[in-house]
Amino acid sequence: MTNGEQPSEPDETGVRHRLPGRRTGRAESDVEAGDRVIMPARKPRAPLRQVSGRLLLALGVLVATTVIVWLDRAGYNDNAGGGVDFLDAAYYATVTLSTTGYGDITPFSDSARLTNIFVITPLRVLFLIILVGTTLEVLTERTRLQWRIGRWRSAVREHTVVIGYGTKGRSAVDTLLGQGVRRDEIVVVDPQRKVIEQATLDGLVGVVGDATRTDTLLRAELPRASRVVVAPERDDTAVLITLTARQLNKAATVVAAVREDENAPLLRQSGADVVVTSSSSAGRLLGMSMLSPHAGAVMEDLLTYGTGLDIYERPVIRAEAGHSPRECADLVVAVVRGRRVLNFNDPEAATLQLTDRVITIRPAVTPAG
C-alpha cells in the first residue's frame, strides 16, 4: 500500500473495497447540516399546522376588531367624508392592529375611545404577539435546548454510546433497556438526522455526525463512557470508529459488530474487546435450526432478551463463595474470574470465589415501567 491507503475488504461479490482514511470533509447525508446533540423530545406538530394555526388566530383577531369597530361606527370620523361602513371598519382594524394608524379614521365619541383603550389596544398587542410569536418561540426553544444540553453534559458519566441505530443498534439498545439501563444513560450516534430524530422519539439522546471523526464522539462524551457499541453498516467503518473510540477512551468496554469473519481480527487489533460476527452467527443459528429446530428455538430464545430464558451476568454472593457453581440457585454456564471466562466444567471454576462473577441462565424478568 502507498500514499496512506488503508487495507481493503471484499464484499459479497468478491470485490475488495478500500478502507477510507480519516475524512476531513463532511459525509453525505445530514452531516452537512452540522454535527449536533439532539435531546429527547415529544414529536412536534407539523410546521404547516403550526403556521396555519397562527394565521387563523391572527385572522380571528382582525375579524373581531373589524366587527367591534363596525358596531360602534357612529363614534368614528372619516376625514374623507361620509360615514364609516364595513370596509372602512376593516381598513381601520387592519392599520390599527399592524401599525399605529394613519389618522384618516379616528374615534371621537367617548364609547369609541373607551373601546380603543380597553379592547382594540389589547387586541393590537395580541396581534403583534402572534406575528412575532414564531421568532420568540425559536429563541426560547434554542435557549432551553442549550440549557438542557449543558446540564446533560455536566451530569453524564459512565454511560453507553451506541454508534449506528440500524437493526443491530436498535436491538442492542432494546437489550440494554431490558437489562435495566436507563434511557438517559444511552447516547446514539448516527450520520442520518432522521435516524437520530427517531432515537430521540424513543427517549434517547442523539448525536448527528460521522462517528469516524473525533469531534463527533466528543459531542457524545465518549471519553467519559463506560461502554461503546459499534454497529455501523460497513466493516471498514467499524474499524475506523473502533480506532477513534479506543484512542479517546482506553478503559471503556468496546463491543463491535462485523459482517465477515475475516474482519474480526482487524477489529480486535483496533481495540474492540468483543467482536460479534453477524453473518456467521446467523448462519450457525440457521444450521443448528435445520439439524435441531428445538435447539435453534432455545438459542433464539436466549438471544431475545425479556422472553422465556435470559442469559444474565451477576456477582457471586457471599453465601455462594467457596461452593460449586452447581450449588447455585440458577443455572451457571460460565465463571468470570478477573479477565478470564471459565466454562462451568473447568477445574478452576469448581469453587466460586467472592470476587468472581457468574454467567447464568434464568427465567426472563419483565422490567417495570
* pTM of the shown model: 0.57
Question: From CA 25, how far away is CA 232, in angstroms rounded?
Answer: 19
Say which residue, 260 or 16, is predicted with more confidence.
Answer: 260
The pLDDT assigned to 231 comes to: 92
Name the one residue in this structure whose C-alpha cell is 484512542: 247
Per-residue pLDDT at 346 exceeds 60: yes
- Give percent of the chain above pLDDT 90: 25
- Give percent of the chain above pLDDT 70: 77
Question: From CA 158, how far away is CA 352, in angstroms rounded?
Answer: 28
The pLDDT assigned to 246 comes to: 94
Angle (nearest 5°) at CA 162 between 148 and 7: 130
Range in 4-8, 177-181, 335-339, 360-364 with the lowest mean pLDDT: 4-8
The pLDDT assigned to 32 comes to: 42
Say which residue, 216 or 75, is predicted with more confidence.
Answer: 216
The pLDDT-based confidence of 366 (bands split at 50, 70, 90) is: low
Say which residue, 366 or 108, is predicted with more confidence.
Answer: 108
Contact of 133 with 54, CB cutoff 8 Å: yes
The pLDDT-based confidence of 104 (bands split at 50, 70, 90) is: low
pLDDT per residue over 219-272, tens digit each? 999 999 999 999 998 999 999 999 999 999 999 999 999 888 888 899 999 999
**What distances in angstroms separate CA 130 from CA 60, 97, 107, 123, 127, one per listed residue?**
11, 11, 25, 10, 5
- Could you tell me whether strands 227-230 and 160-163 are parallel, antiparallel, or unpaired per DSSP bridges? parallel
Angle (nearest 5°) at CA 245 between 243 and 249: 120
The pLDDT-based confidence of 29 (bands split at 50, 70, 90) is: very low
pLDDT mean across residues, the chain: 78
Q: Which residues contact 270 (CB under 8 A, 6 or more apart)?
A: 239, 242, 243, 246, 256
**What distances in angstroms separate CA 68 from CA 80, 87, 109, 119, 124, one per listed residue?**
21, 13, 14, 9, 13
Contact of 263 with 9, CB cutoff 8 Å: yes
Give me the mean pLDDT over the 84-103 stretch: 75
Going along the chain from its start, the domains and CATH numbers come out as 47-152 (1.10.287.70), 157-282 (3.40.50.720), 308-369 (3.30.70.1450)
Give me the mean pLDDT over the 97-113 stretch: 67
Q: Which three cell numbers stand for residue 191?
A: 450520520
The pLDDT assigned to 100 comes to: 62
The pLDDT assigned to 329 comes to: 85
Say which residue, 92 or 334, is predicted with more confidence.
Answer: 334
Per-residue pLDDT at 123 exceeds 50: yes
Angle between helices 278-291 and 293-303 (to 10 degrees): 140
Per-residue pLDDT at 357 exceeds 60: yes
Per-residue pLDDT at 63 exceeds 80: yes
The pLDDT assigned to 18 comes to: 40
Per-residue pLDDT at 369 exceeds 60: no
Question: From CA 242, how far away is CA 238, in angstroms rounded?
Answer: 6
pLDDT per residue over 150-189, tens digit each? 888 888 899 999 999 998 899 899 888 887 889 989 999 9
Per-residue pLDDT at 215 exceeds 90: yes
Q: Which three cell numbers stand for residue 99?
A: 401599525
SS (H, E, C) 72-122: CHHHEEECCCCCCCHHHHHHHHHHHHHCCCCCCEEECCHHHHHHHHHHHHH
Question: From CA 262, how far away is CA 128, in angstroms rounded?
Answer: 66
The pLDDT assigned to 256 comes to: 93
